[in-house]
Amino acid sequence: MNYDLIIVGAGALGTFHAYHAAKRGQRVLLLEKDNRPVGSTVRNFGQVVPSGLAGRWFDYGRRTLDIYREIQAKTDITVRQKGSIYVASDDAELTLINELFDLRQADSYPCELLTKAQTLARYPNLRPDYVRGALWFPDELSVEPDRMIHRLIGYLVEQLGVTYRPNATVIDCQSAMGRTSGSRAAVTLAGDDYYEATQVLICSGYEFRLLYPEIFANSGLVVSKLQMMQTIPMPQVQLPGNILTGLTIRRYEAFAECPSFALLTANTPDHLAELKQWGIHILFKQAIDGSIIIGDSHEYAPANQLDDLGFDTNDYINALILNEAARIVDLPVQKIARTWAGFYAQTSDEIFDHRVDDHIRIVTGIGGKGMSSAAGYTEASF
């Protein structure tokens, strides 16, 4: 079969590119090196929070909300509209959520400031001595990260005619005179399977060794390692939506646009210093089964030194996360069922979008913005 577009990598960036291309009538082949996506797209909270993004990424995030809802109306990809809440723990953080409220109001983005009493009424499991107030975004979404992408791929195959091949490791990609017709792009798989298309899009996440390693080595891309945990199911607990806390207010780029952000960063409380050293900010999201995902931390390595981050998780970092989580919520957060390390590629240039030649393009390094903005970004990137 002749393809218009071959996409290498079936994470959020690759799969949403496939979605938009197929909707435009293109013949798409989506290739995934593993037997199912197991990278950044499934190792996260499943929080869709445009409120934390800035600039064009906030706009992509708003469009992403619409796209998730459009797909959910046709097939269940686990989308739930439970909103997001940012909980301020001191006066500086309270000032910032008030400033972000003003910015988002100016953008006509639905949000609501909550007093301490209103916050505790909605979230009685928050500790009263932690809460000063909160900022609520009712339109934001949650998904189940270990299910969403697989269901989305199924929808693309069954309803939009995308051809999907897992266990398909691409070991070579180049433009050449095609075996079947003129100048095109070609990919070769381990095992020597060979495909051609007018365009090849490489969305390989943090896999930098198989294709164009010399480009990645000089790209400025880095890899972030995150530690996350999930409790046993707690169906008696109600933590609806995405819960983001004071350390998130101190970290997310949306707050960096606020007038008082510089004052905040210049005055970090002593008890937060070690948490900031490990890039820790505390997030909670309750899964459908009642378990609660808690995290996360951030360690970094250049693209060509990924192995320096290791494959293990650091118990000391997990203890720091859980100790801070226990300061925020009155829940048995120590009842952990599983822990894992997630990885994602990022760049100081917001995203790595590199054209190898007229037929081959690399798009990766969306960082932690993928779940919240990839659907909107990929629509605009054609």
Question: How do residues 290-346 score in pLDDT, each as one tens digit?
Answer: 999 999 999 999 998 999 999 899 999 999 999 999 999 999 999 999 999 999 999
Residue 164's pLDDT band, with cuts at 50, 70 and 90, is very high
CA distance 10 to 150: 9
How far, in Å, are 111, 134, 235, 272, 330 from residue 121 at the CA level? 17, 12, 19, 27, 14
Residue 104's pLDDT band, with cuts at 50, 70 and 90, is very high
pLDDT at 264: 83
CA distance 367 to 345: 5
pLDDT in tens, 21-66: 999 999 999 999 999 999 999 999 999 999 999 999 999 999 999 9
pLDDT in tens, 185-208: 999 999 989 999 999 999 999 999
Residue 181's pLDDT band, with cuts at 50, 70 and 90, is low
DSSP three-state, residue 323:
helix
All structural domains of the chain: 1-80+142-219+350-382 (3.50.50.60), 84-138+222-346 (3.30.9.10)
CB-based contacts of 127, cutoff 8 Å, min separation 6: 327, 328, 329, 330
HSE (side-chain half, CA atoms, 13 Å) at 113: 17
Return the exposure string of 246-258: e unless at least 16 CB atoms fall within 10 Å of the residue's CB, then b.
bbbbbbbbbbeeb
pTM comes to: 0.95
pLDDT at 265: 74
Choice between 269 and 319, residue whose per-residue pLDDT is larger: 319
Does the pLDDT value for residue 176 go beyond 90? Answer: no
Q: Residue 205 carries which side chain, given as an amino acid letter? A: G
pLDDT at 266: 74
pLDDT at 269: 85
pLDDT at 314: 96
CA distance 89 to 177: 61
Dig out the tokens for 237 from the structure: 């607990």
pLDDT at 183: 80
Does the pLDDT value for residue 178 go beyond 90? Answer: no
Partners of residue 300 on adjacent β-strands: 224
Q: Residue 280 carries which side chain, given as an amino acid letter? A: I
pLDDT in tens, 75-99: 999 999 999 999 999 999 999 999 9
Q: Residue 316 carries which side chain, given as an amino acid letter? A: Y
Q: What percent of the chain has pLDDT over 90?
A: 93
How far, in Å, are 147, 152, 159, 311, 371 from residue 163 at the CA level? 19, 13, 11, 32, 23
pLDDT at 271: 86
pLDDT in tens, 112-146: 999 999 999 999 999 999 999 999 999 999 999 98
pLDDT in tens, 230-265: 999 999 999 999 999 999 999 999 999 999 999 887
CB-based contacts of 240, cutoff 8 Å, min separation 6: 82, 83, 286
How much is the mean pLDDT over the chain?
A: 95
Helix intervals (H) in 51-205: 56-72, 91-106, 116-122, 145-160
